[in-house]
Amino acid sequence: MLTPPLLLLLPLLSALVAAAIDAPKTCSPKQFACRDQITCISKGWRCDGERDCPDGSDEAPEICPQSKAQRCQPNEHNCLGTELCVPMSHLCNGVQDCMDGSDEGPHCRELRGNCSRLGCQHHCVPTLDGPTCYCNSSFQLQADGKTCKDFDECSVYGTCSQLCTNTDGSFICGCVEGYLLQPDNRSCKAKNEPVDRPPVLLIANSQNILATYLSGAQVSTITPTSTRQTTAMDFSYANETVCWVHVGDNAAQTQLKCARMPGLKGFVDEHTINISLSLHRRSRKRAQENEATQHG
């Protein structure tokens, strides 16, 4: 019979099992593996000028060496024949930003008068292709080429480290419980509670789970516990318990293990939860689904 603390961990255990089964190990031959080793996208989306991987690795220069164009952010200008993007506000300002000087030149003077007839909602600047409208920061030019609409910065990967709320003309970053927003108003840092206890990291690798300080120094009072190819790990602060998936040679030998860490002073009461039947059923169901897809 499960004890009350373990009952509280059931949602956590279910998530750990799901992570071990559902996390893609490899992508199919028709897919591209993003650098995060988690996301798979269609190979047709690679080097198409749009960031489809969360980290943008499908458009990285080393992946797309032949790419001659880069989709610039709103209110940016792509210098001719390069992947360099410069702010529209830097065009025709008397300072050369593009290597070939295409952002400056006679057209700046000759075409400036045409801007008044274009009817831009925010700003207008002469370019080699004629006068062009652009918008204030945090706004995006619409399809009519004149009006501006708020741009959702939260849709850009990495704008905020945790939470992001889009507002009219701006955005607000936030942090989940237990973290504090830093002075840059974008990144988050874990609260150090209690203040007299230094933060500790639990790191799982192919051989063990060890505890280190943020400096990288190992916590000498905590002896690492041995593991095998850990694919998922989580820690319940309220119950001072860490659980991890101990991978075997097959699904039937894969185990879910937990250990208590009272006061973060060491691993005690390590025990195994039998999940082999659940893993076997899910593996068999996954194999049947893949077989049906291949014959479909």
In a domain, 46, yes or no: no
In a domain, 26, yes or no: no
**In the chain, what percentage of residues exceed pLDDT 70?**
80
If you count them, how many residues does the chain have? Answer: 296
Q: What is the pLDDT of residue 249?
A: 74
Greatest mean pLDDT among 168-182, 226-240, 246-260, 268-282 lies in 168-182
Please give the residue that has the higher pLDDT: either 20 or 78.
78
Q: What is the pLDDT of residue 288?
A: 61
Pairing between β-strand 130-134 and β-strand 139-141 as defined by DSSP bridges = unpaired
Q: What is the pLDDT of residue 147?
A: 94
Question: φ, ψ for residue 107 (rounded to 5)?
Answer: -60, -25
In a domain, 25, yes or no: no
Average pLDDT, the chain: 79
d(C-alpha 178, C-alpha 198), whole Å: 15
Question: φ, ψ for residue 5 (rounded to 5)?
Answer: -60, -35
Tens digits of per-residue pLDDT, 240-277?
Answer: 898 888 777 776 777 888 888 887 778 888 888 776 55
Find the mean pLDDT for residues 111-135. Answer: 89
Q: What is the pLDDT of residue 262?
A: 85
Instruction: Supply 60's token pair.
Output: 């990285």
Do 267 and 225 lie in one domain? The reply is yes
Determine which of 58-62, 106-110, 211-215 has the lowest per-residue pLDDT on average: 58-62
DSSP 141-175: E-TTSS-EEE--GGGSTTSSSSEEEEETTEEEEE-
Do 80 and 139 lie in one domain? The reply is yes
State the total domains in the chain: 3
By the 10 Å C-beta count (0-12 exposed, 13-18 middle, 19+ buried), 78 is classed as: middle
> Which of 129, 132, 154, 128 lies closest to 141 in space, CA to CA?
132
Q: What is the pLDDT of residue 148?
A: 93
Q: What is the pLDDT of residue 6?
A: 46
Cα torsion 48, 50, 56, 59: sign: positive
Instruction: Supply 111's token pair.
Output: 């075409």
Pairing between β-strand 188-190 and β-strand 208-213 as defined by DSSP bridges = unpaired
Do 203 and 275 lie in one domain? The reply is yes
Do 229 and 275 lie in one domain? The reply is yes
In a domain, 22, yes or no: no
Q: What is the CATH number of the domain that holds 137?
A: 2.10.25.10
Do 212 and 231 lie in one domain? The reply is yes
Do 144 and 86 lie in one domain? The reply is yes
281 vs 100, 278, 286, CA distance in Å?
62, 5, 9
In a domain, 259, yes or no: yes
Q: What is the pLDDT of residue 58?
A: 85
Q: What is the pLDDT of residue 291?
A: 64
In a domain, 246, yes or no: yes
Determine which of 26-30, 65-69, 128-132, 142-146 has the lowest per-residue pLDDT on average: 65-69
Find the mean pLDDT for residues 220-229. Answer: 76
d(C-alpha 246, C-alpha 244), whole Å: 6
Tens digits of per-residue pLDDT, 23-50?
Answer: 445 788 888 999 888 888 888 888 876 7
Greatest mean pLDDT among 8-22, 168-182, 235-249 lies in 168-182
Do 162 and 91 lie in one domain? The reply is no
170 vs 102, 187, 204, 244, CA distance in Å?
30, 16, 39, 41
Q: What is the pLDDT of residue 21?
A: 45
In a domain, 220, yes or no: yes
The residue range of the domain holding 121 is 76-151
Q: What is the pLDDT of residue 69?
A: 44
d(C-alpha 186, C-alpha 169), whole Å: 16
Question: φ, ψ for residue 177 (rounded to 5)?
Answer: -60, 135
Q: What is the pLDDT of residue 282?
A: 57
Q: What is the pLDDT of residue 7?
A: 47
In a domain, 57, yes or no: no
Find the mean pLDDT for residues 147-156. Answer: 88
- Structural domain ending residue among the three candidates 135, 163, 190: 190
Q: What's the predicted TM-score (pTM) here?
A: 0.42
